[in-house]
A and B are shown apart, each in its own frame.
Chain A
Amino acid sequence: MFVSIKRLGRLSFEKVYYYTVQKEDVAQSEFEDFLTRMEGCPDYAEQLGEILQFIKEIGEKHGAREAHFKHERAADALPPPYYIQPGKPNKFGLRLYCIRLSEEVVILLNGDLKTKNNPEECPNCRKHFRFANSLARKLDEAIKNREVILVDRELQFDDDFEIEL
């Protein structure tokens, strides 16, 4: 499966540019899919709002410091550790997987309501967790090989660079 990285124009802020990915033959990007599905869960509306406000605040004012993200093996996730859900509808809450490449570049992916401590055991999050980690490892390798470079907030690729997962 090929995926392409897209920049989110609406989330291109002074401190951070946010990106997402789109799988081939899929109409929506991963982050748009997350928003569409999670918007339909009223129990988690406040939590979702807090995560989006967090994304906005980091982008506009603070930068994507490592402290603000939860490490998920090669990838990352929001909300950060120790987050207390408003209302506490369940033990673990929403998880949005992402890849923090630098304090200025974050790739927002997909996620869901986490139901188990280990994401590999959670039927909702497992595929998003695995996808985020596969992509993170591919990007790490591409950055080492200089097929992908970061110039401040901009991601730049070799003309023939492709991501196959």
Chain B
Amino acid sequence: MKTPQVIDDLNLFDKILENTSKESKLFVSRSLAIANQILVLLDKKGLKQKDLANMLNKKEAEISRWLTGFHNFTVKSIAKIEAALGEQIIYTAQESQEEVSKAVHALTIKTPVFERANNPMQTKDFVSAGSMRATTSLYVLQRKTNKEKFSEEVIYIETAS
């Protein structure tokens, strides 16, 4: 079996993109991200597009239009879909940060075997369970086994409280 030859140079592709407005590129990026998030949620729940259409009293063709990737969603439409699916589709930057903090807190509560050293910049630092300091640092957590050997590593970001 053989594989195709590769064309390495495609400078015109990059040149055209550079000359495209930031707004257009962001619109494509955001609308595709939302469409795909909905598709992921439908897959996760074992639902088809027609199921979502029925939940929202819409025609399947309209749902297909939303999910092609260039649809200009309104906040109201997103809210309706979130309500129907029982899942959040978009997060603001602030909401994302809060979700990360919650996850980190849950992680440290559930894993008391982690310990934190004094210097947060070293890669083999540990975090004390329940002791969330008011700093923003990057830590690598390592799980201590009974024999002081480390079997897992998790990277997390601790945010200001």
Contacts and interface: CB of A to CB of B under 8 A. Distances in A.
A50 B29 contact: no
Interface in B110-127: none
Interface of B: 1-10, 12-17, 19-21, 24-25, 27-29, 32-33, 35-36, 39, 64-65, 67-72
A142 interface: no
Contacts of A53: 17, 20, 24-25, 28-29
Contact of B67 (A32, A56, A61, A67): A67
A134 interface: no
A8 B3 contact: no
Nearest to A154: B3
Given A50-B27, A53-B20, A57-B32, 19 more contacts: A6-B6, A10-B8, A10-B10, A32-B10, A35-B16, A48-B20, A49-B24, A50-B24, A50-B28, A53-B24, A56-B17, A57-B33, A61-B36, A67-B67, A68-B32, A68-B68, A155-B4, A156-B3, A158-B2
Contacts of B68: 67-68, 80-83
The number of chain A residues touching the other chain, given as a range, is 35 or more
A9 interface: yes
Contact of A36 (B5, B12, B72): B12
Given A52-B16, A56-B17, A67-B35, A46 B24 contact: yes
A74 B10 CA distance: 27
A81 to B, nearest CB: 6
A19 B6 CA distance: 9
Majority SS at the chain A contact face: mixed
B119 to A, nearest CB: 35
A58 B32 contact: yes
A158 to B, nearest CB: 7
B20 to A, nearest CB: 3
A58 B70 CA distance: 12
A20 B70 CA distance: 24
A133 interface: no
A46 B4 CA distance: 32
Interface string A16-60: 000110000000010010011001000001101110111011100
A159 B14 CA distance: 33
A4 B16 contact: no
A138 interface: no
A143 interface: no
